[in-house]
């Protein structure tokens, strides 16, 4: 007997602007995120009726308030759905503010072979001109595409890899870009046109490596290099018991002499440090001065990477 082809798409809702409401339809700023449930979002996108769907509300929050416990619940929910033979893939509705961090977290923890696609909106569900419904429909077509695999973000018709996507504009509907301009695919009228292929993901570290519900996670902070950076903030954070530091350096991860020395002292005291860049693109090369590079990871993704390292997982190769 021939086995049935997986065709079920599971949509996991986490809130965000895509599920937001404003008092007036012309208000795209003064809204409250995470007000509409995922079932209602699905019902508002007629094109989704052509897909076989299931939905689950994992969280209902503004993604600026995303936290580690929600990440854990989301990872467990995604993992559970991907083990089902009938599930083609998972679509996650999310807020735009931290979608790039959640995507990278799921990429490192699960490294799924099936597609896991995150989508979002820059305008609330009550806006005059919506972007959320089209983004959800595009994301469903992407999940359903035979070539789709791994964690991706699909917004404004563009598809980005989890380790490359970043929010680059505060307000525009097309607010996202790929680091160094990388785009995996475009979704055009329900058709996915692949432009490049994502690099193989890391080995899955698995959800068992995550702290249990309610347990403490490592404390990691991001500091910035700038004119007259004196390293005082680093010393204060070390005094407060920080376990990891990501520094967003200038250019190729360059640092003022005082900030660099403070970070070297922190590292010598047992604090793990990664050196990234505040530039929008480009990797950080190793410079032999003792502070390891975060490679091509943005500061927020380097923070996720360092978080997972402190939980005892191997670094991304």
Question: Which residues are the active-site residues?
Answer: 17
DSSP, residue by residue, 196-225: S-PPPPPPP--GGGSPPTT-----EEEEE-
Buried b (16+ CB within 10 A) or exposed e, 303-316: bbbbbbbeeebeeb
Contacts of 289 (CB under 8 A, 6+ apart): 260
CA distances to 164, 235, 259 from 228, rounded to whole Å, are 30, 15, 9
Strands 158-161 and 165-167, sheet pairing: unpaired
- Rounded Cα distance between 103 and 117, Å, is 9
> Whats the size of the chain, residue-wise?
317
Torsion angle of C-alpha atoms 83, 85, 86, 91, degrees rounded to 10: 30
- Rounded Cα distance between 127 and 108, Å, is 35
- Rounded Cα distance between 77 and 60, Å, is 15
Place of tokens 């580690």: 68
Nearest alpha-carbon partner for 140 in 97, 95, 201, 88: 88
Give the pair of three-digit tokens for residue 147.
């070539």
CA distances to 98, 100, 160, 188, 270 from 117, rounded to whole Å, are 15, 12, 10, 16, 37
Strand order in the sheet with 150-155: 52-61, 8-15, 87-93, 115-119, 150-155, 158-161, 185-188, 191-194
Place of tokens 């991304």: 316
């Amino acid at each position: 007997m021939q086995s049935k082809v997986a065709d079920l798409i599971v949509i996991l809702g986490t809130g965000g602007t895509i599920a937001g409401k404003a008092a007036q339809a012309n208000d795209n700023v003064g809204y409250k995120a995470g007000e509409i449930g995922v079932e209602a979002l699905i019902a508002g996108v007629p094109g989704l009726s052509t897909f076989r769907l299931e939905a689950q509300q994992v969280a209902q929050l503004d993604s600026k308030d995303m936290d580690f416990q929600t990440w854990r619940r989301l990872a467990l929910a995604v993992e559970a759905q991907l083990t089902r033979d009938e599930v083609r893939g998972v679509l996650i509705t999310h807020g735009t503010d931290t979608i790039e961090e959640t995507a990278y977290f799921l990429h490192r923890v699960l490294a799924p072979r099936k597609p896991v696609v995150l989508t979002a909106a820059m305008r609330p569900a009550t806006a005059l001109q919506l972007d959320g419904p089209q983004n959800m429909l595009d994301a469903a077509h992407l999940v359903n595409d035979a070539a789709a695999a791994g964690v991706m973000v699909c917004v404004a018709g563009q598809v980005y890899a989890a380790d490359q996507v970043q929010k680059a504009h505060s307000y525009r509907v097309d607010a996202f870009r790929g680091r160094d301009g990388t785009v995996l695919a475009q979704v055009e009228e329900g058709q996915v046109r692949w432009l490049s292929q994502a690099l193989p993901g890391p080995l899955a570290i698995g959800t068992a490596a995550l702290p249990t519900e309610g347990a403490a996670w490592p404390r990691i902070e991001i500091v910035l290099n700038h004119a007259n950076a004196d390293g005082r903030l680093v010393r204060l954070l070390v005094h407060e018991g920080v376990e990891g530091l990501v520094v967003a350096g200038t250019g190729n991860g360059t640092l003022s002499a005082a900030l660099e020395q403070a970070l070297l002292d922190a590292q010598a005291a047992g604090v793990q440090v990664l050196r990234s860049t505040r530039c929008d693109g480009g990797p950080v090369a190793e410079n032999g001065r003792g502070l390891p590079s975060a490679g091509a990871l943005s500061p927020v993704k380097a923070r996720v990477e360092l978080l997972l390292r402190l939980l005892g997982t191997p670094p991304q190769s």
